[in-house]
Amino acid sequence: MFFSRLFKRFFPVDRRSSPRGEAGPVRSVRTEAAVAPPPSPFLPLSALHDGMAPPPAATAPAGPRFSRSVHGLLPAQQDRVRPVLHEGFTPTQPIRHALFLAGRARELERAIEAIEYQNAHLVIFGERGRGKTSFANVLVQLAASAGYGVVQHACHAEASFDHLFSAIIGKVRSRYLRRAAERFAAGDLTADPSGLGQHSRLGASEVTEILGGITTGRLLIVIDEFDRIRSETIKNEFVELLKNLSDLGARVTFVVVGVAQTLTELLALHLSIQRNLVTIHLPLLDDRDIEALIRRGAETAGLEFLPEASELVVQFAKRSPHFAQLLCHHGARTGMRRGSTRIERRHIIEGLLTIVEEAKFVHDDAYRRALGGDDVATADLLFATAQCRTDDVGQFTATSVAEVCRAISTNGTADPAAALHRLTLPEGGGILKCLPDIPEPRYSFIDPTLRFYVLLRQASARGLI
């Protein structure tokens, strides 16, 4: 189908069978030149819409100033640093175009298959900053190009079901709601789809009538930040709606997006809805995807990342797209400030140190408590915890921490499991959470930024950066 063909155009080569790769522990920072990079999994930038990749400008201005007016780049103020980086690396913005989405081919393929062939609703979940909104944006882009009607909505904590769906239906183009409007005019519906929020109260059955009445086209409705909804009543009503629409074979697919470790954290789950849902837990990227992200960003920004600079980003990003974007952004900014479009290892290091400085206010207290006194074994354990091998969702075991401890430390840690347990308690900074599992518990950082912070602080304290 057309949706699938579009997908293949944007994600041509990422059907690999090899396991997800990961850089090894940061023991020392290597500087030897890397082998030639693999071919880019992206389309050439020329495929991008005009104007999205501004050329690097020539001269740096004196003193701080805005580089673009709200209407675009100011010719008189062409700052050679910021406008270019703005497009190349986006640490504060979700990806909005398939050309910039690294990896995710498998997950997009699964999502498209679920929408096209299974007529299922989708739930996309994962850790904060994992790339959920970026993924949903690209799915929406591909769907819109394939002729789907699309609606994107971000939840607010205080939303009632009525508020939530008044806002969502208010974003649906009127041609989809024509039949519901006719039925309302004929007195068959209690809710007027064109006057929602004023005099209608929407429950699951009213929304079923409105959306279930769509007779032409197909509609994709993305609800982002669903984790902000705490009310079980809203969740229950929403699940009822999903079930109703599935039973009707409606022309509407919901894509629910939110921060969660498990599906049940996000949605009140009834057995009856499970077969109508496809869940996609977004994994970390693999190292090759991070390399591709760097190449694409550099290409867009008109920069060259030297192999040892890219290698350092891969080592420290630890498969996180967000931290890769952040490191590249700061490294590139440093390089360009120094008048270079060739980004070197030292530029990335300077960027790393800036990130540490800026994050101190947020994370230093927890970090200090985790570190306790000046105990070398605890410091080694922290360093090992921040860089040990994780599974695809960022969880690890005491065994994998102990492996890294043995590689970086001569002291060793007598009981890594007990030491990790301490890090889950307030006196240990509460930086980890523990998930009971067999044969041994799994751990993860309560916030991915904390892992990154611990890694940078420890690498810096050991003179590795």
Ligand X SMILES: Nc1ncnc2c1ncn2[C@@H]1O[C@H](COP(=O)(O)OP(=O)(O)OP(=O)(O)O)[C@@H](O)[C@H]1O
Q: Considering CB distances under 5 to 8 angstroms, the limit depending on partner class, which of ligand X, Mg ion, none binds residue 319?
A: none
The least CB distance from residue 293 to ligand X, in Å, is: 5
The least CB distance from residue 50 to ligand X, in Å, is: 22
Task: Single out the segment in contact with Mg ion by CB under 5 A; choices: 96-104, 130-138, 159-167, 294-302.
Answer: 130-138
Q: Considering CB distances under 5 to 8 angstroms, the limit depending on partner class, which of ligand X, Mg ion, none binds residue 128?
A: ligand X
The least CB distance from residue 7 to ligand X, in Å, is: 15
For 216-250, the three-class secondary structure string (H helix, E strand, C coil) is CCCEEEEEECHHHCCCHHHHHHHHHHHHHHHHHCC
Q: Of 202 and 309, which has the nearer Cβ to ligand X?
A: 309
State which of residues 67, 78, 90, 133 lies at the interface with Mg ion (CB under 5 A). Answer: 133
Q: Considering CB distances under 5 to 8 angstroms, the limit depending on partner class, which of ligand X, Mg ion, none binds residue 400?
A: none
Whole-angstrom distance, CA of residue 226 vs CA of residue 157: 9
Task: Single out the segment in contact with Mg ion by CB under 5 A; choices: 74-82, 132-140, 181-189, 435-443.
Answer: 132-140
The least CB distance from residue 132 to Mg ion, in Å, is: 5
**Is 325 among the residues that bind Mg ion (CB under 5 A)?**
no
For 116-129, the three-class secondary structure string (H helix, E strand, C coil) is HCCCCEEEEEECCC
Q: Considering CB distances under 5 to 8 angstroms, the limit depending on partner class, which of ligand X, Mg ion, none binds residue 345?
A: none
The least CB distance from residue 61 to ligand X, in Å, is: 26
Binders of Mg ion in range 360-389 (CB under 5 A): none
Contact 261, 228 (CB under 8 A): no
Q: Of 54 and 129, which has the nearer Cβ to Mg ion?
A: 129
Q: Which of 321, 3, 343, 296 is nearest to 144 (CA)?
A: 3
At 149 the three-state DSSP class reads strand
Task: Single out the segment in contact with Mg ion by CB under 5 A; choices: 78-86, 125-133, 165-173, 322-330.
Answer: 125-133
The distance of Cα 437 from the centroid of its chain, to the nearest Å, equals 26
Whole-angstrom distance, CA of residue 408 vs CA of residue 227: 39
Q: Of 221 and 241, which has the nearer Cβ to ligand X?
A: 221
Contact 125, 259 (CB under 8 A): yes
Binding site for ligand X (CB under 6 A): 90-91, 93-95, 100-104, 128-134, 259, 293, 321-322, 325
Element holding 405 (H helix, E strand): helix 398-408
Q: What is the DSSP string of 173-233?
A: -HHHHHHHHHHHHTTS-SS-TTSTTTS----HHHHHHHHHT--SS-EEEEEE-GGG---HH
Q: Of 25 and 91, which has the nearer Cβ to ligand X?
A: 91
- CB-closest chain residue to Mg ion: 133
Q: Of 91 and 197, which has the nearer Cβ to ligand X?
A: 91
Classify the C-alpha dihedral 139-292-284-383 as positive or negative: negative
Q: Considering CB distances under 5 to 8 angstroms, the limit depending on partner class, which of ligand X, Mg ion, none binds residue 103?
A: ligand X
Q: Of 154 and 425, which has the nearer Cβ to Mg ion?
A: 154
For 16-38, the three-class secondary structure string (H helix, E strand, C coil) is CCCCCCCCCCCCCCCCCCCCCCC
Q: Does residue 23 come out as left (phi exceeding 0), alpha (psi in the -120 to 50 range) or beta? A: beta
Q: Of 78 and 133, which has the nearer Cβ to ligand X?
A: 133
Q: Of 168 and 303, which has the nearer Cβ to Mg ion?
A: 168
The least CB distance from residue 133 to Mg ion, in Å, is: 3
Whole-angstrom distance, CA of residue 442 vs CA of residue 424: 12
Give the Cβ contact number of residue 174 at 10 Å: 10
Q: Considering CB distances under 5 to 8 angstroms, the limit depending on partner class, which of Mg ion, ligand X, none binds residue 134?
A: ligand X
List residues near Mg ion by CB under 5 A.
133
